[in-house]
Amino acid sequence: MVTVPVVVVALLTVPVVVVSVVVVGVAVLIVSVAVVIVSVPIPLAVARISIRGASCRVFHRVS
């Protein structure tokens, strides 16, 4: 009756592995979404500032 403990151990380890994989996947998703949320406004702000500066220079030259 060696197979019974092996089956029990396998049945116990499978959910643990699945849960750990799911937790790691969710954590990676959360981190990637947070990185995107943090990193997206920075280039947008830089672009806005540069566009404003360029438009101000153009208007000053025209006037």
* Cα–Cα distance, 26 to 20 (Å, whole number): 10
* pLDDT value, residue 2: 65
* Cα–Cα distance, 12 to 6 (Å, whole number): 10
- Which DSSP state fits 1? -
> How long, in residues, is the chain?
63
Write out the DSSP string of 24-55: HHHHHHHHHHHHHHHHTHHHHHHHHHHHHHHH
* pLDDT value, residue 63: 54
Query: Predicted confidence band at 56 (pLDDT cuts at 50, 70, 90)?
Result: low
* pLDDT value, residue 24: 97
Q: What is the pLDDT of residues 4-51, one digit of tens each?
A: 888 888 889 999 999 999 999 999 999 999 988 888 888 788 888 887
- Helices 3-39 and 41-62, axial angle in degrees (round to 10): 10
